[in-house]
């Protein structure tokens, strides 16, 4: 009996768990559907806002409605200037509790945006919804030839979104750069005789196109906007295939075909420095030359057309002068494990160690570790084969490094760039050669292995190696440690960040048995030698220590763009201290966050 009871209990628990899992999946599906519905509401609300502004522009510019088209998503309103507005149907399936955005005409004749019945205020001012009749939006409504009239702000179409964290509706009036909460939390039929009732989440209450003279738009708050319908007594002027914003190279001319009906007169206003003409159904626009003293980089061209019956309409096109340029994408070599993109590899020289992260390249003993070749001075260094210390920022910057062959072997004692995470604020305690991979960090708490890289990162590289022309130093300039682009492409290294090591920091101030400390007139410089595809070189230096001005004590940015496009860069350390055997200060520095320029998108500016 006990066994039967136990079996029944297990079965009941199993059924219960199955039911719970099923309910969880159902709730997740419901949540996903709700999020999708809310996203659709946001999209349609922004479309409706744009439609309201298009309708206001039509009213202001005497543009006529030529057609109202019913679509599965709502309605498309076509205007006599070739523009159109899309109005959405109401949305079922989600109560978004959306704020009511509308417009209201003030005593000055202009329309301003409202939200929940109140003026939309930004920086203490109402936000204008309709544009200006003055030339290029610089002057107010009813200005003669765009010269007079009350100055005012340009028209703005707000945007809305639902904040993912607060779940509140937010509004932006600067193209989505900044957002302000509305304080409203998002909760998750066609009529007869040409009149349509729009239900659900929409900024429009109804669209009445039953009248042969007007289309009447009633907004959600009851505001009525009325646009005249086109008839044969009115002018029609459509610029064919012209984008909303016409971007033109400086000094160039573009021509657009025009479909014009019943146009007997026309007048064209242009921004300063621009030219435009309309002849034989072709609109020709010329952008200003870049070297002009005065011109408007952007504005709008306004074409006023008049019919034989005296009806007038204004067609506007936004224009911008500039040039197409390739933007720059910066990719950064950080040495951080989270940013590893290279394929795992083996370092035979390092006890057959598998390298899967940047940290795998850090020596456990800064001086005696076999990977650095100091087990028995140079005797334990790697012979000339392919198993020596190397790294490659594959699929990112494509920068690579390997210990150069020097003194007939590959060894850090002969120069190289070793990965490190050792940092210390105590350059006295940790200021000798046994701490050769330790970067000086004035904010560190003693000797640590995290947080000492640039911008608080963990890992960085430490350079050792120098060429001074001394007969005691077998290193040549070609033997200096280098970073290079392993894929063979020449690129611009934008910048990197450098700081000193505790060993060098100590010797610069205190000296040791091999060097005197810096005295009057002494300095230390890091030199970058860029190698170009054509075999020529370029050089840059940064002074990191100077008796008169002191020593850098934090990560310092070094701009390398002046090197130009290079396939590799060797680094050298130059200084004035000489103990009779050449440069005597420790030839170390740490570097981090190497930024490389890659071609980005082509942009117009």
Measured between alpha carbons, how far is 301 from 437 in angstroms, rounded to an integer? 64
Residue 533 lies in a domain: no
Measured between alpha carbons, how far is 137 from 116 in angstroms, rounded to an integer? 28
- What 3-state DSSP class applies to 235? coil
Q: Let me know whether 304 and 387 are in one domain.
A: no
∠471-476-477 over CA atoms, to 5°? Answer: 130
Q: Let me know whether 244 and 213 are in one domain.
A: no
CATH number for the domain that contains residue 284: 2.60.40.10
Mean pLDDT throughout 268-295? 96
What is the residue range of 37's domain? 30-228
Q: Evaluate if residue 550 carries a pLDDT over 70.
A: yes
Q: Let me know whether 110 and 176 are in one domain.
A: yes
Helix (H) or strand (E) holding 6: helix 2-60
Domain count, the chain: 3
pLDDT at 374: 44
Q: What is the pTM of this model?
A: 0.63
Q: Return the C-alpha torsion angle 80, 259, 232, 245, nearest 10.
A: 10
CATH number for the domain that contains residue 481: 2.60.120
Q: b or e along 233-254 (b: 16 or more beta carbons within 10 Å of the residue's beta carbon)? A: ebbbbbbeebeeebbbebeeee
pLDDT at 556: 97
Q: Let me know whether 98 and 179 are in one domain.
A: yes
CA-nearest of 483, 460, 475 to 569 is: 483
Residue 544 lies in a domain: no
Q: Count of CB atoms within 10 A of residue 14's CB?
A: 10
Residue 12 lies in a domain: no
| Comparison of pLDDT for 289 and 2, the residue scoring more | 289
SS3 per residue for 323-385: CEEEEEEEEEECCCHHHCCCCCEEEHHHCCEEECCHHHHCCCCCCCCHHHCCEEEECCCECCC
Q: Let me know whether 242 and 224 are in one domain.
A: no
Q: Let me know whether 567 and 420 are in one domain.
A: yes
Do the bridges between strand 556-559 and strand 491-499 make them parallel or antiparallel, or are there none, so unpaired? antiparallel
Residue 179 lies in a domain: yes
Tokens of 159: 């945007």
Q: Let me know whether 55 and 166 are in one domain.
A: yes
Q: Let me know whether 183 and 66 are in one domain.
A: yes
Show which of 201, 228, 255 is a domain's final residue: 228
Q: How confident is the model at residue 378 (pLDDT cuts 50, 70, 90)?
A: very low
pLDDT at 389: 86
Show which of 172, 201, 228 is a domain's final residue: 228
Q: Let me know whether 308 and 393 are in one domain.
A: no
pLDDT at 199: 42
pLDDT at 393: 97
Q: Let me know whether 245 and 99 are in one domain.
A: no
pLDDT in tens, 122-171: 889 999 998 765 444 333 333 333 333 334 456 888 999 998 888 888 99
Q: Let me know whether 495 and 572 are in one domain.
A: yes
Q: How confident is the model at residue 198 (pLDDT cuts 50, 70, 90)?
A: very low
Residue 144 lies in a domain: yes
Do the bridges between strand 550-551 and strand 214-219 make them parallel or antiparallel, or are there none, so unpaired? unpaired
- pLDDT above 70 coverage of the chain, percent: 82
């Amino acid at each position: 009996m006990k066994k039967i009871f136990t079996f029944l209990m297990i079965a009941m628990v199993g059924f219960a768990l199955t039911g719970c899992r099923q309910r969880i999946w159902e709730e997740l599906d419901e949540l996903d559907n709700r999020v999708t519905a809310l996203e659709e509401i946001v999209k349609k609300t922004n479309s409706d806002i744009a439609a309201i502004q298009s309708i206001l522009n039509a009213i202001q510019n005497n543009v006529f409605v030529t057609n109202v088209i019913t679509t599965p998503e709502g309605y498309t309103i076509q205007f006599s200037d070739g523009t159109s507005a899309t109005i959405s149907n109401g949305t079922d399936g989600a109560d978004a509790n959306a704020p009511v955005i509308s417009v209201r005409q003030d005593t000055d004749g202009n329309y301003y945006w409202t939200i929940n019945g109140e003026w939309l205020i930004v920086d203490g001012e109402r936000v204008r919804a309709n544009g200006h009749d003055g030339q290029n939006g610089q002057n107010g409504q009813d200005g003669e030839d765009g010269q007079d009239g009350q100055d005012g702000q340009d028209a703005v179409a707000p945007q809305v979104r639902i904040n993912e964290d607060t779940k509140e509706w937010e509004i932006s009036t600067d193209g989505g750069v900044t957002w302000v909460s509305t304080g409203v939390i998002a909760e998750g039929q066609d009529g007869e005789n040409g009149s349509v009732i729009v239900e659900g989440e929409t900024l429009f209450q109804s669209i009445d196109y039953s009248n042969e003279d007007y289309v009447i738009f009633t907004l959600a708050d009851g505001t009525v906007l009325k646009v005249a319908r086109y008839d044969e007594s009115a002018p029609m002027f459509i610029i064919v295939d012209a984008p909303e914003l016409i971007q033109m190279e400086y000094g160039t001319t573009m021509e657009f075909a025009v479909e014009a009906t019943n146009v007997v007169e026309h007048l064209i206003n242009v921004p300063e420095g621009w030219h435009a003409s309309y002849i034989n159904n072709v609109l020709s626009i010329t952008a200003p030359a870049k070297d002009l003293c005065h011109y408007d980089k952007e504005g709008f061209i306004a074409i006023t057309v008049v019919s034989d019956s005296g009806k007038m309409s204004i067609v506007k096109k936004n224009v911008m002068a500039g040039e197409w340029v390739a933007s720059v994408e910066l990719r950064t070599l950080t040495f951080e494990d989270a940013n590893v993109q290279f394929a795992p590899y083996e370092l035979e020289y390092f006890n057959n160690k598998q390298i899967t992260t940047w940290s795998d390249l850090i020596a456990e003993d800064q001086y005696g570790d076999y990977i650095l070749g100091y087990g028995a001075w140079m005797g334990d260094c790697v012979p000339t084969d392919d198993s020596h210390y190397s790294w490659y920022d594959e699929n990112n910057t494509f920068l690579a490094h390997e210990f150069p062959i020097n003194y007939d072997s590959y060894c850090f004692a002969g120069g190289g760039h070793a990965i490190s995470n050792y940092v210390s604020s105590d350059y006295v305690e940790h200021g000798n050669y046994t701490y050769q991979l330790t970067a000086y960090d004035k904010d560190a708490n003693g000797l640590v292995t995290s947080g000492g890289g640039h911008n608080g990162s963990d890992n960085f590289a430490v350079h050792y190696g120098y060429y001074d022309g001394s007969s005691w130093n077998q290193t040549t300039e070609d033997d200096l440690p280098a970073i290079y682009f392993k894929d063979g492409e020449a690129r611009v290294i934008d910048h990197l960040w450098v700081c000193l090591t505790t060993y060098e920091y100590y010797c610069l101030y205190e000296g040791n048995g091999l060097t005197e400390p810096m005295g009057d007139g002494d300095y230390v410089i890091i030199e970058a030698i860029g190698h170009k595809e054509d075999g020529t070189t370029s050089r840059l230096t940064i002074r990191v220590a100077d008796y008169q001005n002191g020593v850098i004590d934090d990560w310092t940015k070094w701009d390398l763009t002046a090197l130009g496009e290079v396939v590799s860069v060797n680094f050298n350390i130059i200084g004035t201290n000489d103990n009779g055997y050449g440069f005597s200060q420790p030839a170390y520095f740490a570097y981090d966050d190497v930024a490389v320029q890659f071609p980005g998108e082509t942009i117009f500016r």
